[in-house]
Amino acid sequence: MEGNEGAALSKPVLLTVDDDPGVSRAVARDLRRRYAETYRIVRAESGGQALDVLRELRLRGDDTAMLLADHRMPEMTGVEFLERAMDLFPFARRVLLTAYADTEAAIRAINVVDLDHYLLKPWNPPDEKFYPVIDAQLDAWRRADRRLPGELRVVGHRWSARSYEVRDFLARHQVPYTWLLDGDPEGAELVAAAGAPELPLVVTAAGQVLAAPSDAELAAVAGLPSTPSTGFYDLVVVGGGPSGLGAAVYGASEGLRTVVVERRALGGQAGQSSRIENYLGFPDGVSGAQLAERARRQADRFGAELLQTGEVTALEARGTARVARLADGTEIAAHAVILATGVSYRRLTAPGVDDFVGRGVFYGAALTEAPSCADEEVAIVGGANSAGQAAVHLARYAKRVHVIVRADGLERSMSHYLVEQIAATPNIEVHTGKTVCGAEGGDRLERLTVQWPGGLKTIDAHWLFVFIGAEPGTGWLEGFVERDARGYVMTGPDLVAGGRRPPGWPLVRQPYHLETSVPGVFAAGDVRSESMKRVASAVGDGAMAVALVHRYLEQA
């Protein structure tokens, strides 16, 4: 995929898709000659690659004005691509590039994808056969009312940490929005009309204005479910990552009245992955967001309730009931609980780093920021799979990606396929045995100081993505279930090692394999002590935990 280097990323996109590199370059060349000042020109060489680009543009809140797709492409025809692209950018003008022999297929496509125009190849001279068509399509696009029903507008500073958090929240929850800088004419007009409130500013389609809204307020205006429909369930799942969603699907599909309470966004850390290539059943890979959305739809279809922006702050055993208390004081009781809260990335404690969180420093992949890294120096700290996936993804945009690893190599902590991809990507540099020891800048991150053999070295990097290990965040469970020295929840065999019994365990039987030190409370996925820390094993944990819940309920 190729972008117009140096172009303002807020420009609407003209996307051209052709599997013939020569034709692809020719289309992009002709578009740049006439439209580069107003539009960002992007080209892709397959339908799958182009759909990935469109998903990222949608996540960022960028707009796409036109899609030009060749009809005869392997794996996915131009018509098939345009049909799928309509779901992402329904207002983009759709143009099919065809040979003379394909005109009948193009005419049929008018009914399939509401085609706006088909353009015969070759189109020389472009002044007569190409530009008049494109001019007419872009004029129609500019005149159309392109705002989706219910779409939000977000106004903020480019280098505001909270503005980034709001955009990331909406993107991860698949909520359509338009991103406006406070210095843009439309953004400035909205700020003035709202009485110059604190930014970021969120304006709904109905005109409701929220100044510096909380996540709960965003969830409310976006229509995200956050209130339980009843006070008692068969199963409460705390956490909506792969293990929690797996538990929701299996629990609800097997007749358990199931509710999932997720603090941030469904999908957890895996939901931020740009590409997961070793998950069973997806030979071409799948993005974390796609996987999470499919799991959400599946759980919803089986009747599981999915509460978002709800934070469980305490658990309590009341007789045979297990009660989850939320931050807003709401209580949800159930016969059983599955803890699937996952882990969060450990903070990088180097001086200055905390000053730039959301302003160049990001924990996790931060997919909304990837296109903004075009022609920039990017640094990634970490050596596990998440770091490798981010490096390969960001290398598509960045001038250079520096992978900074404390260990002496990647092989011990990263899957072999990712190590090979990194080695084959020329603009990724792996720096082993190094650590970041400082960050500097003004409004945004500008420089990193790295410990190098023999001294310190400065890297002029405006972007730092941190993946330095995980912390379970289980302090709220202190005194309720047993945890290991690192805070991970202990289950099953680990609780009875050496012939001991968990303190206060009231039953004759031993804890089941994924059961905690409290009967009827189970742990699944990354939060569990000695778990594998892989998406597939987390989903398996969720399914196994539900099977054990059934066994527990049968004997209760």
| CA dihedral (370, 372, 378, 382) positive or negative | negative
Distance between CA atoms of 210 and 335, rounded to whole angstroms?
39
Mean pLDDT value across residues 314-319: 96
Q: For 453-465, write each residue's pLDDT tens digit.
A: 778 999 999 999 9
**Residue keyed to tokens 């929850």:** 173
Question: 44: exposed, middle or buried (C-beta count within 10 Å: 0-12, 13-18, 19+)?
Answer: buried
Q: What angle do CA 170, 171, 172 make, to 5 degrees?
A: 95
Least confident range of 122-136, 220-234, 417-431: 122-136
Q: For 177-208, write each residue's pLDDT tens digit.
A: 888 999 888 889 899 988 889 999 999 888 88
Q: What is the DSSP string of 10-56?
A: TSPEEEEE-SSHHHHHHHHHHHHHHHTTTSEEEEESSHHHHHHHHHH
Looking at the domain 353-469, which fold is it? FAD/NAD(P)-binding domain (3.50.50)
Q: For 266-306, write each residue's pLDDT tens digit.
A: 988 888 887 888 888 888 778 888 889 889 989 999 999 99
- Residue 427, pLDDT score: 95
- Residue 110, pLDDT score: 61
User: In this structure, are strands 117-120 and 344-345 parallel, antiparallel, or unpaired?
Assistant: unpaired
Least confident range of 6-15, 20-29, 227-236: 6-15
Q: Tell me the pLDDT of the chain averaged across its residues.
A: 89
| CA dihedral (126, 128, 130, 131) positive or negative | positive
234 φ, ψ to 5°? -75, -40
CA dist 447 → 158, 395, 401, 490 (Å): 18, 19, 14, 41
Mean pLDDT value across residues 489-499: 91
Model confidence at 5, pLDDT cuts 50, 70, 90, reads: very low
- Residue 6, pLDDT score: 36
Helix (H) or strand (E) holding 340: none
Mean pLDDT value across residues 237-250: 97
Question: Which neighbouring-strand residues pair with 94?
Answer: 67
- Residue 111, pLDDT score: 56
Looking at the domain 152-222, which fold is it? Glutaredoxin (3.40.30)
Q: For 389-441, write each residue's pLDDT tens digit.
A: 999 999 988 999 999 999 999 998 899 999 999 999 999 999 999 999 999 99
Looking at the domain 13-143, which fold is it? Rossmann fold (3.40.50)
For residue 522, pLDDT beyond 80: yes
Q: Where are the beta strands (DSSP E) in 391-536?
A: 400-405, 428-432, 435-441, 445-452, 455-459, 463-466, 470-471, 521-523
Least confident range of 231-235, 370-374, 529-533: 370-374
3-class secondary-structure state, position 525:
helix
Q: Fold match between 232-342+472-555 and 353-469?
A: yes
Count the helix, strand and coil residues of the chain and give each as a percent rounded to the nearest 5: 35, 25, 40
Distance between CA atoms of 58 and 175, rounded to whole angstroms?
10
Provide the CB-side half-sphere exposure for 183 (13 A, CA).
4
Pick among 3.20.20.220, 3.40.50.620, 3.50.50.60, 3.30.870.10: CATH of 232-342+472-555: 3.50.50.60
Buried b (16+ CB within 10 A) or exposed e, 161-180: bebbbbbbbbbbbbbbbbbb
Extract the tokens encoding 317. Answer: 């055993």
Distance between CA atoms of 491 and 529, rounded to whole angstroms?
7
Q: For 29-69, write each residue's pLDDT tens digit.
A: 999 999 999 999 999 989 889 998 988 887 677 889 999 99
- Residue 8, pLDDT score: 41
233 φ, ψ to 5°? -130, 170
Model confidence at 176, pLDDT cuts 50, 70, 90, reads: confident
> In 279-350, where does DSSP find H-type helix?
288-301
Domain boundaries, the chain: 13-143, 152-222, 232-342+472-555, 353-469
Helix (H) or strand (E) holding 433: none
- The end-to-end CA distance of the chain, in Å, is 57
